[in-house]
């Protein structure tokens, strides 16, 4: 079920009865073939790069994997891991708890980066296949 914001956005794009339209900063209206292409059309209209940004299944642009995002995710998980190690550690000293948490984070951060890059590449491949099928 689309949210209210998504419904309003879709209605705005479909105002011209039979076509999707994206407005540029100068007020020009560009026709877009499909709803999922609207995000790409908007970025191209705003002077974005010609690089094709992969879109996830919701039609949102998928960001490139970065270590900064993986470290941030690890920082958000650190307190939960610390609590988990504290509760399941038995008779660990505070230094032992911190060390176990650091070891687990040293495994989780690169692993999440790896997963992000695998997902990014798979979405890119899927979209390249669909583009190639449309060209035929």
Q: What is the pLDDT along the chain (136 residues), one digit of tens a residue?
A: 888 888 877 777 676 555 566 777 777 777 666 555 445 555 555 555 556 778 877 778 888 999 999 999 999 999 999 999 999 988 899 999 999 999 999 999 999 999 999 999 999 898 888 888 888 7
Six token digits for residue 98: 């911190």
44 CB-near residues (< 8 Å, 6+ apart): 50
Cβ atoms of residues 108 and 114 within 8 Å: no
């Amino acid at each position: 079920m689309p949210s209210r914001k998504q419904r309003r956005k879709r209605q705005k794009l479909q105002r011209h009865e039979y076509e999707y339209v994206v407005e540029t900063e100068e007020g020009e209206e560009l026709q877009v073939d499909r709803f999922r292409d609207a995000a790409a059309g908007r970025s191209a209209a705003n002077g974005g790069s010609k690089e094709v940004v992969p879109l996830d299944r919701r039609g949102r642009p998928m960001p490139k994997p970065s270590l900064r995002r993986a470290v941030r995710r690890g920082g958000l998980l650190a307190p939960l891991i610390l609590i988990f190690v504290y509760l399941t550690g038995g008779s660990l000293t505070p230094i032992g708890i911190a060390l176990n948490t650091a070891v687990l984070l040293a495994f989780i951060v690169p692993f999440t980066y790896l997963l992000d890059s695998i997902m990014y590449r798979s979405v890119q491949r899927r979209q390249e296949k669909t583009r190639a099928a449309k060209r035929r």
